[in-house]
């Protein structure tokens, strides 16, 4: 019942105080109010919405609530009465709901600070619905629509990895923390004129966790992720590539705050040796210019580029990143963590020391494949859990695979 009244009160107060913004509504309730155009005043509470949280019939009986049978809408008839009822029954919820906190902060008996409550609520741009609406809006413009089919946009909610799934070196984690704090202190950094922040270059061989880390960052920072591979937007037609690059950066700005993750970053630089020299040069220049014209402090876009071939990058490109984050072949410590993470759910004990020792030079992706192979081998032989032996065989197989790869 309390939850249902929270919905009603939140709508009523939000409608009355124009200074309240979407971000003030707690995420869980926000999801009720998303419509075609977003969250719009007046918020209306329908029978079906309340049904999700409990017995809507009971709500009809309350003296401060009116139910309109015709349009199936609930409405609060006396905010005073409703507020009194809520203080008595739902005081804890006020401390998690900025809309309510805003209204109740003047009540001595409640003792709540709007600012404190607000700080704890997840921002609106972390909602799947918000990202979807933004994309729909952008897609109305044909030139964006085309580009949106070549990039992937994730809302943080849709991302299924986080930092507990990726084993990183201390230096890498430190960079993550610096970004986190830079975002939190955006205003301060702007004031002191430190705007050259928030352009990261992830460098390392395939399968070392670059993409995974970018995604985990999106989840952790609660920022939507715009993911694009440069090979996807590179065109054989003169000038097309440049135009596409510009569009991608524009999309990121429109979705801001967000992370723009550019994968295969060397792709444009790499083609420099080809015949279409002028077109490629132009594309590189556009890329440089676009990087220059975007920044975290002013536009709210965190740029992350990733490459397996740092040596192919132009010096002018290097210079534009304020931080190079290396993703080397994982150290012993990191390999241990990856094995531990992947084997922890299997009901068996393994000689992790040995596994770590035997996988020197293996990437995280290769270790994952080893575990996968061992699990499948066991399953096909009718065993639920792989043995140490299964893992060792998979490692041997992987070794020949790596040798094969290196011989080409």
Ligand X SMILES: Nc1ncnc2c1ncn2[C@@H]1O[C@H](COP(=O)(O)OP(=O)(O)OP(=O)(O)O)[C@@H](O)[C@H]1O
Which pair of structure tokens corresponds to residue 184?
Answer: 């939190």
Phi and psi at 76, nearest 5°, equal -85, 130
Eight-state DSSP code of residue 310? G
Query: With CB under 6 A as the contact rule, which of the stretches 2-10, 20-28, 115-123, 204-212 interacts with ligand X?
Result: 204-212
**Residue 139, interface with Mg ion (CB under 5 A)?**
no
Query: What's the closest the beta carbon of residue 312 comes to ligand X, in angstroms?
Result: 14
42 upstream amide cis, omega within 30 of 0: yes
Give 79 or 365: the residue with its C-beta nearer to ligand X: 365
Q: Residue 330 Cβ, how far from ligand X at the closest point, in Å?
A: 6
The stretch among 29-37, 109-117, 211-219, 282-290 that binds Mg ion (CB under 5 A) is 211-219
Regarding 300 and contact with ligand X (CB under 6 A), the answer is: no
Contacted entry of Mg ion, ligand X, none for residue 225, CB cut-off 5 to 8 Å set by kind: none
Count other Cβ atoms within 10 Å, centred on residue 395.
19
Outline where DSSP puts E strands in 214-300.
225-229, 258-263
By CB under 6 A, tell whether 211 contacts ligand X. yes
- Which listed residue (25, 167, 223, 356) binds ligand X by CB under 6 A? 167
Distance CA 304, CA 247 (A): 17
Q: Which stretch binds Mg ion (CB under 5 A): 31-39, 58-66, 81-89, 210-218?
A: 210-218
E strand intervals along 178-254: 199-203, 225-229
Question: Using the rule CB under 5 A, which residue among 211, 235, 348, 387 binds Mg ion?
Answer: 211
At 329, is the secondary structure helix, strand, or coil?
coil
Regarding 229 and contact with Mg ion (CB under 5 A), the answer is no
259 near ligand X, rule: CB under 6 A: no
* Residue 207 sits in the site that holds ligand X (CB under 6 A): yes
Q: Is 235 near Mg ion (CB under 5 A)? A: no
With beta carbons less than 8 A apart as the criterion, state whether 279 and 240 touch. Answer: no
Pairing mode, strands 73-76 and 45-46: antiparallel
Count of C-beta atoms within a 10 Å radius of residue 360: 11
Site string for Mg ion, 166-205 (x = CB under 5 A): ----------------------------------------
Binding flag, residue 161, Mg ion (CB under 5 A): no
CB of 128 to ligand X, least distance (A): 22
Q: For the segment 74-113, give every residue that binds Mg ion (CB under 5 A).
A: none
Closest to ligand X by CB, 133 or 346: 346
What is the contact mask toward ligand X in residues 306 to 345, using x (rule: CB under 6 A)?
--x------------------x--x---x---x-------
Which is nearest to 334 in space by CA: 308, 370, 314, 361?
361
According to the binding rule CB under 6 A, does residue 270 interact with ligand X? no
DSSP label at residue 147: H
Nearer to ligand X, 53 or 261 (CB): 261
Give me the DSSP letters along 345-367: TSSS---HHHHHHHTTT--HHHH
Helical (H) or strand (E) element with 144: helix 142-148
Q: Which residues contact 275 (CB under 8 A, 6 or more apart)?
A: none
What is d(CA 193, CA 195) in angstroms, rounded to the nearest whole number?
A: 6
Which residues here bind Mg ion, judged by CB under 5 A? 210-211
The residue ranges that bind ligand X (CB under 6 A) are 166-167, 204, 206-212, 308, 327, 330, 334, 338, 364-365, 368
């Amino acid at each position: 019942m309390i939850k249902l009244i929270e919905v009603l009160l939140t709508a009523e107060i939000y409608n009355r105080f124009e200074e309240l913004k979407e971000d003030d509504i707690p995420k869980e309730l926000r999801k009720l109010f998303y419509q075609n155009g977003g969250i719009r005043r007046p918020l209306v509470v329908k029978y079906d919405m309340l049904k999700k949280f409990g017995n809507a019939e009971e709500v009809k009986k309350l003296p401060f609530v009116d139910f309109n049978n015709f349009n199936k809408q609930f409405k609060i008839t006396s905010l005073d009465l409703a507020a009194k009822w809520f203080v008595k029954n739902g005081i804890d919820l006020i401390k998690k709901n900025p809309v309510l906190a805003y209204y109740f902060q003047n009540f001595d008996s409640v003792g709540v600070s709007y600012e404190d409550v607000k700080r704890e609520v997840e921002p609106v741009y972390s909602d799947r619905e918000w990202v979807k609406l933004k994309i729909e809006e952008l897609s109305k413009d044909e030139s964006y629509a085309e580009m949106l089919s070549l990039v992937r946009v994730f809302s943080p909610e849709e991302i299924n990895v986080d930092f507990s799934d990726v084993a990183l070196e201390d230096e890498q984690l430190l960079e993550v923390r610096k970004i986190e704090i830079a975002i939190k202190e955006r205003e301060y950094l702007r004031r002191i004129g430190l705007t050259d922040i928030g352009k990261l270059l992830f460098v390392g061989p395939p399968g070392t966790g670059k993409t995974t880390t970018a995604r985990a960052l999106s989840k952790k920072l609660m920022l939507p992720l715009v993911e694009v591979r440069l090979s996807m937007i590179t065109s054989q037609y003169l000038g097309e590539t440049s135009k596409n690059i510009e569009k991608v950066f524009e999309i990121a700005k429109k979705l801001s705050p967000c992370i723009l993750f550019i994968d295969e970053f060397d792709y444009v630089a790499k083609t420099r040796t080809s015949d279409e020299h002028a077109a490629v040069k132009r594309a590189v220049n556009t890329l440089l210019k676009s990087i220059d014209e975007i920044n975290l402090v002013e536009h709210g876009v965190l740029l992350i580029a990733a490459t397996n071939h740092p040596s192919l990058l132009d010096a002018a490109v290097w210079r534009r990143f304020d931080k190079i984050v290396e993703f080397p072949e994982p150290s012993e410590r990191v390999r241990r963590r990856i094995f531990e993470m992947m084997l922890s759910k299997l009901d068996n004990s393994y000689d992790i020391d040995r596994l770590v020792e035997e996988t020197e030079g293996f990437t995280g992706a290769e270790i994952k494949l080893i575990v996968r192979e061992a699990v499948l081998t066991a399953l096909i032989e009718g065993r639920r859990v792989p043995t140490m032996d299964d893992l060792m065989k998979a490692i041997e197989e992987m070794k020949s695979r790596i040798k094969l790869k290196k011989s080409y």
